[in-house]
Amino acid sequence: MSSPSPAAPVLSHLDDSGQVRMVDVSGKTTTQRTAVAEGRVRMSPAAYQLLASQRNAKGEVLNTARVAGVLASKRCAELIPLCHSLPLSFTGIEFTLDDAAHSITITATCRSDYKTGVEMEAMTACSVAALTIYDMCKAADKGIVLENIRLRYKSGGKSGEWRND
């Protein structure tokens, strides 16, 4: 198998023979890393009203989702098989409510001073926060939609800063 050119993308979790492997970060430099993920939860007007007014029978939905997202970021390596276990210096979850669209945008930010990025931690935090909202609101609307979970920003490491605006 020939070496890819510098411009050719590669799958870093496959070795030269195509076998799955954990990426070796032992030679990498520790740098400050940040990642921001975003996703959206869309629901019926009735379910949204219950969430927005905090009358959900299971308790205060957004604070529960915030805690769930933070906990998930810290357990990312237990969920994603080849993900490195890394020390997080910060995880923050923010919610933006859109009354007209009956939706909640979730923004998860993770930071670490380590040898590999925190993109997976931010996306896991965002995903689990969205799933928690679904779980707590499903009695009012089984058709809740989780959508557009994606990386919005990352910084640090060899590849530097990247944005998905």
Catalytic annotation, residues? 135
Strand order in the sheet with 103-114: 90-98, 103-114, 31-42, 145-155, 162-163
Token reading at 47:
């379910």
Does residue 156 contact residue 117 with C-beta atoms inside 8 Å? Answer: yes
**∠ CA 77-83-88 to the nearest 5 degrees?**
60
Q: What is the per-residue burial (b if ≥16 Cβ within 10 Å, else e) of 84-102?
A: bebebeebbbebeeeeeeb
In a 13 Å sphere around the CA of 70, the CA atoms on its Cβ side amount to: 11
- The answer to whether the Cα torsion of 52, 57, 59, 61 is positive or negative is negative
Rounded to an integer, what distance in angstroms lies between the CA atom of residue 137 and that of residue 143?
A: 10
